Amino acid sequence: MKTLFNRIKTISPAFYYCGLGHLALFILMIIVAQFDSRQLMGINLWIKPIKFAISIAIYCLTWPLLLQYLPFERIKKRFINFSVFAMTFEMLAIATQAARGQLSHYNTAGLYNAILFSLMGIVIVSQTLFAIYIGYLFFKVRPIQISPALLWGIRLGIIMGGIFALEGGIMASRLAHTVGAADGGPGLPLFNWSRIAGDLRIAHFWGLHALQIVPLFVVLSNTKKAKPAIVFAGLYFVIVSLLFYNAMLGRPLF
């Protein structure tokens, strides 16, 4: 594990420290949640920033392992810098809104809340589109220092992650993530996905983490050929799409 973290640090110090910073925030907010009993939507108001902190940490620590195979240094640097800014801004907005006892997402009550929500959308959509462009650039990479399987795993993982990240726009347009009921009803432990209606966060979550899951499948399966990676990514895309379709019908996962 130490070797892995040292490698990430060497490839991209900016992503490395951003990732570690969010890991520290994750731990800090778990501690804060033990002393702050305020609730939003029926759960402790620190649960959301806690989940975002660990998710952003994983996101930041994943990218260097992918970007090491991309030769376009100037565009990589710009992507890294903008992504660190975007993730930091997103986390700062979510955490400060929690501290204020306010929702960070879908909150248009008052000028400040509406402006902040809009800025969050602009920043994260911009970063997502940039990530999709990085995925496109991977189609210009030849499998010389990397196996065809891993190259396709990276390509499709990035593109799929970007597609389902943009699903957030559907939730933003609805000002809700639950379909068929109000946000904040009974949910699954930890994730809080609705147990009584459709929940768009399920496909959003699994789609976003295609960035890690598809390349990880290639590594763990030790496959070198492109076909198994493409087939796995295709099946994964179909499954996550069905999760989205199920949620849009207003049906709970369980």
- Indicate if 156 and 60 belong to the same structural domain: no
Closest CA to 4 of 55, 72, 58: 58
Residue at which a domain ends, from 124, 141, 158: 141
- Indicate if 136 and 153 belong to the same structural domain: no
- Indicate if 93 and 115 belong to the same structural domain: yes
* pTM of full prediction above 0.85: yes
pLDDT at position 107, please? Answer: 85
Give me the helix-helix angle, 226-248 and 148-165, nearest 10°. 10
Please report which confidence band the pLDDT of residue 151 belongs to, taking 50, 70 and 90 as the band edges. very high
- In the predicted structure, residue 114 carries a pLDDT above the cut 90: yes
For residue 239, the tally of other CB atoms under 10 A from its CB is 12
Which distant-in-sequence residues (6+ apart) come within 8 Å of 204 by Cβ? 164, 165, 167, 168, 171, 177
Q: What is the mean pLDDT of residues 149-159?
A: 96
- Indicate if 156 and 110 belong to the same structural domain: no
- Indicate if 114 and 240 belong to the same structural domain: no
Residue at which a domain ends, from 141, 165, 193: 141
- Indicate if 112 and 160 belong to the same structural domain: no
Give the tens place of pLDDT for each residue, 196-229. 999 999 999 999 999 999 999 999 999 999 999 9
- Indicate if 107 and 149 belong to the same structural domain: no
- Indicate if 93 and 204 belong to the same structural domain: no
- Residue 172 tokens, joined: 């933003």
Residue at which a domain ends, from 123, 141, 159: 141
- Indicate if 37 and 136 belong to the same structural domain: yes
Task: Specify the number of domains making up the chain.
Answer: 2
- Indicate if 28 and 149 belong to the same structural domain: no
- Residue 225 tokens, joined: 């050929």
pLDDT at position 178, please? Answer: 92
Please report which confidence band the pLDDT of residue 144 belongs to, taking 50, 70 and 90 as the band edges. confident
Please report which confidence band the pLDDT of residue 233 belongs to, taking 50, 70 and 90 as the band edges. very high
Q: In terms of pLDDT, which residue wins out, 81 or 41?
A: 81
Which distant-in-sequence residues (6+ apart) come within 8 Å of 253 by Cβ? 188, 193, 199, 202, 243, 246, 247
Q: How high is the mean pLDDT of the chain?
A: 93
Cα 163 from Cα 236, distance rounded (Å)? 13
- Indicate if 124 and 2 belong to the same structural domain: yes
Range of the domain at 87: 1-141
- Indicate if 113 and 175 belong to the same structural domain: no
Task: Determine the distance from the C-alpha atom of residue 174 to the mean position of all C-alpha atoms in its chain, rounded to a whole number.
Answer: 20
